[in-house]
Chain A
Amino acid sequence: ETGVTQTPRHLVMGMTNKKSLKCEQHLGHNAMYWYKQSAKKPLELMFVYSLEERVENNSVPSRFSPECPNSSHLFLHLHTLQPEDSALYLCASSQDLPGPYGYTFGSGTRLTVV
């Protein structure tokens, strides 16, 4: 399979649950990103991993915990979330220095916190 694949596509979780979002890319990229997209808000960059090291963390609450075990996989571990965390979570990948190529996005995980 090519491109960027995110699983699950939809997730409903209670505020006391622990769940994980998964992102996988088969493009040979070595940088990966988590974005949060809420209704009526701009795209929010949450985390950036480059060569499997976290290089950016934009003041994201500790209830979101990223993990990048290798350059092809990225996880977002979720625990004790709040209803306002309900959103579309997008994963993207690129070369470490993307240059003129931009990012490739997955289809997202629609998260609902109840």
Chain B
Amino acid sequence: AQSVTQLGSHVSVSEGALVLLRCNYSSSVPPYLFWYVQYPNQGLQLLLKYTTGATLVKGINGFEAEFKKSETSFHLTKPSAHMSDAAEYFCAVSLGNAGGTSYGKLTFGQGTILTVHP
């Protein structure tokens, strides 16, 4: 079984400031971890993912996330926020290679709405 918790349903930053969106997970086997972004009235778009290998992963639009097994975290960061980053962000977890028939089935967090002020 797996679950994911996003800390903070709303995050507000100034343009040019650091963006930090928090995600913690639990998983019975080594997980796959994903961040999706959703712009208003759009579907979810994959931002980045961790499956195996390097724990720091880079995604689109300058975002990156670091898998920290000891902290069961996968926080999303961007050094400098842009107005176009305003959106809702979803963290998701799935069971990795040992997940059997649930291999890769996603469980989503509650979402974090990012607001960027000029």
Contacts and interface: CB of A to CB of B under 8 A. Distances in A.
Interface in B47-80: 49, 51-52
Given A42-B110, A43-B90, A100-B32, A4 B43 contact: yes
Name, among A4, A95, A103, the residue most crowded by chain B CB atoms within 10 Å (CB to CB): A103
A74 interface: no
A101 B103 CA distance: 11
B46 A102 contact: yes
Contacts of B104: 94-95, 97-102
B105 A88 contact: no
B44 A100 contact: no
A54 interface: no
A105 interface: yes
A73 interface: no
Contacts, number: 58
The secondary-structure label for the interface of chain A is mixed
Interface stretch (A11-19, A62-70, A75-83, A106-114): A106-114
Nearest to B105: A98
Contacts of A105: 36, 43-45
Nearest to B44: A105
Contact of B43 (A98, A100, A102, A108): A108
Interface of B: 32, 34, 36, 41-46, 49, 51-52, 90, 92, 94, 96-97, 101, 103-106, 108-111
| Chain A: interface size category | 20 to 34
Contacts of B32: 99-100, 102
A90 B44 contact: yes
A105 to B, nearest CB: 4
Interface string A39-71: 000110000000000000000000000000000
Interface centre among A6, A100, A105, A106 (most CB of B within 10 A): A100
A106 B110 CA distance: 19
Given A97-B103, A102-B34, A43 B42 contact: no
A98 B44 contact: no
A106 B43 contact: yes
Nearest to B9: A40
A17 B64 CA distance: 46
